[in-house]
Structure 1
Amino acid sequence: MNKAQHLAVAAIGRVLAGANLTLVLQEIWRSNPLLSHQQRGAIQDLAYGVLRYYGQLDALLSLLLDKTLQDLKLRYLLLVSLYQLQYSKAPSYAIVDHAVSTARLLSNKRGAPGLVNAVLRNFIRKGTTLWELVNKNDVGKYSHPQWWIDKLRKQYPQHYEAILNASNQHPSMTLRVNSRKIGVEAYQKILDEHGIKANLVWNVALKLIQPVAVEKLPGFIEGLVSIQDAGAQLAASLLDVHDGMHVLDACAAPGGKSTHLMESAQIRLTALDSDAQRLARVAENFERLGNEPDRLVYGNALYPSEWWNGQLFDRILADAPCSASGVVSRHPDIKWLRRYTDLPAFADTQEKILNALWKILKRGGKLLYVTCSVFHEENWLLINKFQQLHQDARLLPLSHPAMTNGQLLPSFLHDGFFYALLCKA
């Protein structure tokens, strides 16, 4: 537990200084190759857990301290320990004892172990009362930044609490059955035979009752199934692709939507991305599934002249870079890394991508605009502005029981996404 606490503290500190949690953990794995699978799991749980409930834990710690703790490592250790005391099954005495030991490793101050011991034991004594105080504050109650809460409250007055609560839940593990190789019912039967229970969400999406390691999924290596959120799986059907069409996935990495498009129809697909490393992952996904795109291109959707071969597209999928405010349950660091001022910058880039891609879409062709965001600035407000600038853009109706005006709000079944289908008149 000492090792897990120590490295989790390092990870949390780097994220709160501005780093991406996924990249931080990857670096920790590289720097500590002898970590066991169990240790990695513990470190990941602590880092994700503290960031998922950071607003709550930070408010709680403020109540437990007489003054601001300047030693950030000790502060993060206390957050880790409070998370363990509240959300883990480990005995409280073991958590406190290990935290005291870890404090000796993290700080050369003589009083550090005593401070950690006193704060944590005080929480054990007064926990119920302290939680009541924490819940009187928005950031403490919802564990999101205040500006984020205020924006959702304004944009979704009837649903903001459900959005915030869903974003704080552990994400589901959902599979996409490769219908070119096996039917949904047939694959669900295989899962049952392996003792893995799953429920149908919609189409070819199966939500596992309990997540399992990828290597334990039957037929994964053979390409029978992929891991993809149920909300993300809607893109392929909404784009309305048919055999023989020339299709572009303009922001393809890591390849979930691209490979799904190839499973949906016999198309000529160009998979484009501006990140060479992530594009390599797209190629790996295609190889595992046993199908290949027409072109796999390293390039930026903003500048088609640098990579486009001059052939107009029948369909374009524009899964634009965004705030990722709809996938916070999977990436809890996002809510603490984003700033209110980021939204206009994302919207500007999204608008430029749409303008660039519109020029290479055929007359009568369709473009599906996608974000994994719930903020109006990146979604409806942007599409309304685009239509005003492009008189030949027709917004087509999208019908799905889980969506309202193209917006899929995060829930226990899926992440949050926005979809807008535009036809070039």
Structure 2
Amino acid sequence: MSARSDSPSLAPPLSAVLLSSADAVQGVLEGRSLTDMLAAVEPALRPATQAVSFHAMRHLGWAGAIAGQLVQRYPNTRLQALLLVSLALLVRGDEAGVPGMPAYAPHTVVDQAVTAAARARNLSAYKGLLNGSLRRFLRERAALEAAVADRPEARWNHPGWWVQALRRAYPQDWQAILEAANAPAPLTLRVNRRRATREQVLGALAAAGLAAEPAGESGLVLATPRPVAQIPGFAEGWWSVQDAGAQRAAELLAPRDGMRVLDACAAPGGKTAHLLELADIELLALDVDAARLARVRQNLDRLGLGGERARLQAADAADPHAWWDGRPFDAVLADVPCTASGIVRRHPDIRWLRREDDLRRTAALQARIADALWRTVAPGGRLLYATCSVFPAEGERQAEAFLERHPDARRLDAPGQLLPVAIGATPAAQRDGFFYALFAKLS
């Protein structure tokens, strides 16, 4: 999350932030990505809008349940979003606060929400409804909350089907997984060993007044997040932003000099770059989205990893006939599409955009991609199956089914399911949720 000054004198008006955040949340309610919605926000408002909309996403189940008791029918989705955002901001007093936002008294939030509605197209006629609803919440909060306390969405701020799926899969850990998803993530860097050492980056951070601590083999976790362009070494390509759990992928595939390597679902390019940092390899990076593949090239260029060593191609990994020249790969990274249920704390809208039947669709696609890529692995070569999911249907069940379909595959040592770690852990020990299964092709 981008940082900004906590000084109210430098902050944009709260009414403007609430309306901008409501528009972002409205986009999510209508099925659009929060990332895309925030990209359209004017730069002066974007940091505060991101802070408030992220907070709203983390409280949307509770806010929705409360709002359902206050308003029976909404004249439009924009009013619903503004009410949800305002309720979420009112609950911030129970916690450490909204990162990147000044503290506001409840009556200020109500006043500014009504001001936002009064000044907004298609909302001004409903400012009385909004005002009455928010003031009723402040008067009757205890009773309103008690009425929804047993609802899974209100208690855990995840869809009910999501909560039930985790309870079945992880009887001992499901609550910790849900709580971790609502904890803001630290900013974790991966040092580019071809441009700098971890000690060199630590020294530069310290000189700039930024505290950090090592994590994993190449990681650094900042004590306080900052916009990346403000962190020493960004322009010089000393590091990339990458969660500690995601950094395991390239380390597990363990490329060696001279290998021919495939990164099958490469965008946005963090794992692609890491592979190139670890060894002098011949790498083909695929992604079905040409626009996202352009981001991979930009990242590689910033890190000094472009050139002939890395070839990028827009293609469907599940259709090797369209892109494979028949030369087998020594190592293949199959970071397949998934529900992204393991990275919800960084993308809190994901839980509200997914549907239960998405699991079935993504699992079928994952199996199709893994089977197609297995044909491209050289005898004696390895394939790393990876997802940023915590659902077994996209992890362990996929790995077991893959072995059944491919008798020439042998499963090697890999961590399997990495559950997210956040609550109660030091920043250096935190990570998102990932699944890793490593297979060797018998000669």
Q: Same fold (TM over 0.5)?
A: yes
1:74 matched to 2:79? The reply is yes
Is the 8 Å Cα contact of residues 172 and 208 (structure 1) preserved in structure 2? Answer: yes
SS in structure 1 at match of 2:220: strand
Q: Is the 8 A contact 1:74 1:106 kept in 2?
A: no
Q: Please, which runs of 5 or more residues in structure 1 have no aligned partner?
A: 30-34
Determine if the alignment matches structure 1 residue 333 to structure 2 residue 349. yes
SS at match of 1:322: coil
Q: Work out whether residues 79 and 123 of structure 2, in 8 Å CA contact, stay in contact via their aligned partners in 1.
A: no
- Deviations along 1:291-313, one digit per CA (max 9) or x if unpaired, are 22331111110111111122110
Count of residue pairs the alignment pairs up? 411
Counterpart residue identity of residue 63, structure 1: Q
Residue 152 of structure 1 aligns with an amino acid whose one-letter code is L
Q: Report the TM-score, using the length of structure 2 for normalisation.
A: 0.89
Name the SS of the counterpart of 1:296 in structure 2. Answer: strand
CA–CA distance in 2 between the matches of 1:109 and 1:236? 50
Q: CA deviation at 1:140?
A: 0.4
Structure 1 stretches of 4+ with a deviation exceeding 4 A read 106-111
Matches within 5 A, 1:7-406: 7-26=20-39, 28-29=40-41, 35-37=42-44, 39-65=45-71, 67-87=72-92, 88=98, 89-106=103-120, 112-292=126-306, 293-398=309-414, 403=415, 406=416
Q: How far did residue 192 of structure 1 move? A: 1.3
Cα RMSD after superposing both structures: 1.7
Whole-angstrom CA distance in 2 between matches of 1:223 and 1:74: 44
Letter matched to residue 28 of structure 2: V
Q: Which stretches in structure 2 are left out of the alignment for 5+ residues?
A: 1-13, 93-97, 423-429
* C-alpha contact 1:318 1:368 (8 A) present in aligned 2: yes
Amino acid at match of 2:139: R
1:417 and 2:430 matched: no
How many Å separate the matches in 1 of 2:34 and 2:43? 20
How far off is 1:93 after superposition? 2.3
User: Which whole-Å deviations, capped at 9, do the CAs of 1:159-216 have from their partners, x for residues lacking one?
Assistant: 0000001011112210001122222223212211211111222111111111011111
TM-score, reference length from structure 1: 0.93
Mapped partners of 2:122, 2:359: distance in 1: 42
Q: How far 1:128 moved relative to its partner?
A: 4.1
Aligned to 2:165, what secondary structure does the other structure show? helix
9-18 or 206-215: which moved more? 9-18
User: Percent identity of the aligned residues?
Assistant: 44
Q: How many Å separate the matches in 2 of 1:102 and 1:140?
A: 26
Residue 113 of structure 1: how far off its partner (Å)? 2.0
1:20-51 CA-to-partner distances (Å, cap 9, x unmatched) read 1111222x23xxxxx353x2112222222222
Moved more, 330-339 or 249-258: 330-339
Q: Structure 2: how far apart are the matches of 1:391 and 1:16?
A: 45
What does the per-residue CA deviation read over 1:135-180, in whole Å, with 9 as the maximum and x for residues that have no partner? 3221101000010000000000000000001011112210001122
**Partner residue in 1 for 2:425:** none
1:50 alignment partner AA: A
C-alpha separation in 2, matches of 1:320 and 1:209: 31
